[in-house]
Amino acid sequence: MASLKEIRKRIVSVKSTQKITRAMKMVAGARLNRAQLRITELRPYAVKTKQVLSEVTQQARQNLAEVNEEADAQALALDDDQHPLLDVRPERRVMLVVLTSDRGLCGGFNTSICKLAEKQWREREAKGQQVKLMVVGRKGRDYFTRRKAPIEYIPDVWNNLDWSTSRVLAKTVLGHFLRSDAPVDAIYFVYNEFKSAMTQDVVCEALLPVANPTEEEAANDEEHNVEFLFEPSKDGLLEQLVPMYVQISILRALFESMASELGARMTAMDAATNNAGDMIDRLTLKYNRARQAAITTELMEIIGGSEALKG
């Protein structure tokens, strides 16, 4: 049985740990409020940008469906596919952009992302696709380095998370898609989508090529069908709109991942604080029992000595 001194030292150690976890929970909670505000402000802008891009490309597709002459149809098809980021190619080379954190102590946040990314990597390679991973965050880098994965590590993203950081990352991502020699045919983001402080959903979301609108989005566009006059031309609009959409999508994913990390850390530190409290209660009970046993033993020795002297 542990001595009273050992139990006291253990209680002091757990109390110190509890102070640290409580402080980390409070810091994560304060940062989470700011992260949620950034997502709330960015989401409408990102959704509207996607809607505008969808309407511009959808209008060309509708015009294409209405054309009867084969020559005109081919001309419109070429016009619709003229922007390289709208070009859909067979997925022979694929890039997975994996967003993990630089630090731990956030529960299963990083593990769930890395496992989904590894699953995508293994399954796509089994299909004969060539897969490369672009990793943001030291935890993801360490995970995939141990597994000998083909990775490109992007450092110092979370230290300065702003519009300029998103622009640099977008430029890097677009460079792989638009390069002349061995370009990647598709780029997917693997990250945690923020729902609440308690809930984060791991998603694998297509980034490039720019996806066609879903049936629901197309139906909504038809309900609000409006004839647009492009100024400048549609080519000039797409030249600005498509890279902007990619950059905003990347920034939104970064914000979602940051908020998810803070929510996961706050939840993990709250659980650690509660566990430390339960451990302190158990150790205190154990200490009291050991102290009571020691006092009883001393009393028995005193009584036994007294009886021996009387005899």
**Which stretch of DSSP H or E encloses residue 45?**
helix 4-66
Spatial contact of 46 and 252, defined as CB atoms under 8 Å apart: yes
CB atoms within 10 A of CB 235: 11
List active site positions: 106
Q: Following DSSP, what letter does each residue of 88-112 receive, concatenated?
A: ----SEEEEEEE--S---STTHHHH
User: In whole angstroms, what is the distance from residue 196 CA to residue 207 CA?
Assistant: 24
- Give the residue among 210, 209, 192, 211 at the shortest CA–CA distance from 201: 192
Q: Following DSSP, what letter does each residue of 137-171 receive, concatenated?
A: SHHHHHHHHHTT--EEEE-SSSTT-SHHHHHHHHH
User: In whole angstroms, what is the distance from residue 82 CA to residue 52 CA?
Assistant: 18
Return the residue matching tokens 């992260």: 35
Spatial contact of 148 and 125, defined as CB atoms under 8 Å apart: no
**Which stretch of DSSP H or E encloses residue 130?**
strand 130-136
Residue partners of 47: CB distance under 8 A and separation at least 6 = none
